[in-house]
Amino acid sequence: MKFKRNERIGAIVKILSDNPNKIFTLSYFTEKFNAAKSTISEDILVVKNVFEKLSLGKVITISGAAGGVKYIPQISKVENKEFLVELCENLKDTKRILPGGFLYLVDILYNPQIAFKVGKVFASCLNYEKADYVVTMETKGIPIALATAKAMNLPLVIIRKNARISEGSSMSITYVSGSKNLVQTMTLPRRALEEGSKVVLIDDFMRGGGTLRGMEALMKEFKAEVIAKGILISTMEPSRKLIDDYISLLELANVDEETGKINVFPNKKVIDLFS
């Protein structure tokens, strides 16, 4: 079956965007569309130029016998800033305030459009080139971690609070919560990670950093290297966290239960990363 040029280009865009960071050989497309390599190369060049002009990400061609083409999700500086500012405005709704100064975040974290945009931002600002897995802690952080894993085209590993019989033997550690100083447990099946892996840690909220430090400690038990850490929201207090070298997209200054004011804003360092 022969395909028109606009049909091939539409299909190429679909295939690449559905499979970020996956290399497709020219032979794959020539066989799929019954077209010459020169024709496919011209089609890919058109796709590449359009993606760059509209800041939809990068389409990279790789030379050599094992080469081909792949799509790298990226978000523009303007789109990133607009998204984070809009997210902050959503979070400032006084109805989100819960007793104890906590915020209701479930509707945001479980919104597919928001979650996948967060994943795309993480994929744009974290260095995951050598990563083998995205790792998160159950439960609220799972949607944004899954979206990040999708954008990075990496498998997702979920750390549990308690071991599950259905997952086989597990490695468990205790850690101290950075905000409440409570001793808690986290566990991960021994089959979940290969020894010596490189991982990206993703979490939805950080106050003192105790959970992420616990995740780092658990990774060491698997002889895994943490190469990047991303958090959706981190509080400004305490200013000294139990971890370092992390990127948080939003910063929460304070939640005033009496006035109903929520002071949250985009992390300037993240905005500057896109300049």
Q: Give 179's pLDDT tier (boundaries 50, 70, 90).
A: low
Mean pLDDT taken over the chain: 92
Provide the pLDDT for residue 121.
Answer: 96
Q: What pLDDT does 217 receive?
A: 95
**Structure confidence at residue 26 as a pLDDT band (50, 70, 90):** very high
Given a cut of 70, whether residue 43 has pLDDT beyond it is yes
Does residue 16 carry a pLDDT above 70? yes
| Cα–Cα–Cα angle for 180, 185, 191, rounded to 5 degrees | 145
Q: How do residues 228-254 score in pLDDT, each as one tens digit?
A: 999 999 999 988 898 999 999 999 999
CB 120 within 8 A of CB 72: no
Tell if the pTM clears 0.85, that is, is over it: yes
Q: pLDDT tens digits, residue range 137-173?
A: 998 999 999 999 999 999 999 999 887 777 778 889 9
Task: State the pLDDT at residue 161.
Answer: 86
- Look at residues 200, 77, 217 and name the one whose alpha carbon lies nearest to residue 147: 200
Q: Distances in Å between the alpha carbon of 240 and those of 146, 201, 209, 237, 251?
A: 29, 19, 9, 8, 14
Q: For the chain, what percent of residues have pLDDT higher than 90?
A: 76
Q: What is the pLDDT of residue 275?
A: 58
| Amino acid 65: pLDDT | 67
Cβ-based neighbours of 173, under 8 Å, separated by 6 or more: 185, 186, 187, 214, 217, 218, 221
Q: Which residue has the higher pLDDT, 179 or 8?
A: 8
Place 175 in a pLDDT band, splitting at 50, 70 and 90. confident
* Per-residue confidence (pLDDT) for residue 66, from 0 to 100: 66
Q: Which long-range contacts (CB under 8 A, 24 or more apart) does 86-91 make?
A: 87/114, 87/249, 87/250, 88/250, 88/264, 88/265, 88/266, 91/233, 91/250, 91/262, 91/264
Tens digits of residue pLDDT in 80-118: 999 999 999 999 999 999 988 889 999 999 999 999 999
Domains (range + CATH), the chain: 5-72 (1.10.10.10), 77-273 (3.40.50.2020)
More confident residue, 151 or 272: 151
| pLDDT higher than 70, residue 74 | yes
